[in-house]
């Protein structure tokens, strides 16, 4: 969908940004990213650390991989996952924490996406 008054290049950039932020839009994906920022992990290790089903972890890793946020390499029959750009990811997560601090966590009260929307 083209937004009136925004040129095609800008529209493309906004779409890419929305897709990127979608990768960060799930709590489980954020926790997976935080674990991967500590070092490489296999799916089985992530399921043990996070207490999530293997299928759930795999689904979130596929999303993060599609967004270009994580990469994988084969290791025997398993795949080992890591953050593609750890410094940039850490910078973005730190910026998000700063923004949450200055907004007083108002986003958690958002009627559309906040905690009240899920109660």
pLDDT at 119: 52
Please give the angle made by the CA atoms of 33, 28 and 102, to the nearest 5 degrees.
75
Mention every residue, 6+ apart, whose C-beta is less than 8 A from residue 70. 32, 33, 36, 61, 64, 81, 82, 83, 84
Average pLDDT over residues 87-96: 94
Q: Which helix (H) or strand (E) holds 75?
A: strand 70-75
Residue 113 DSSP SS3: coil
Residue-wise pLDDT tens digits, 39-75: 999 999 999 999 999 999 999 999 999 999 999 999 9
Distance, in Å, from the CA atom of 28 to the CA atom of 60, rounded to the nearest integer, reads 7
Is the predicted pLDDT of residue 35 greater than 60, yes or no? yes
* pLDDT band, very low/low/confident/very high, at 103 (cuts 50, 70, 90): confident
Q: What is the pTM of this model?
A: 0.81
pLDDT at 36: 97
């Amino acid at each position: 969908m083209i937004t009136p008054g925004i040129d095609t290049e800008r529209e493309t950039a906004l779409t890419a940004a929305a897709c990127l932020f979608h990768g960060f839009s799930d709590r489980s994906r954020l926790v997976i990213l935080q674990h991967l920022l500590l070092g490489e992990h296999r799916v089985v290790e992530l399921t043990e650390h996070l207490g999530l089903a293997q299928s759930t972890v795999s689904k979130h890793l596929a999303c993060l991989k599609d967004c270009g946020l994580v990469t994988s390499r084969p290791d025997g029959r398993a795949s080992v996952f890591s953050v593609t750009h750890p410094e940039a990811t850490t910078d973005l997560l730190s910026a998000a924490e700063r923004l949450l601090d200055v907004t007083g966590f108002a986003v958690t009260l958002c009627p559309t996406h906040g905690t009240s929307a899920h109660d």
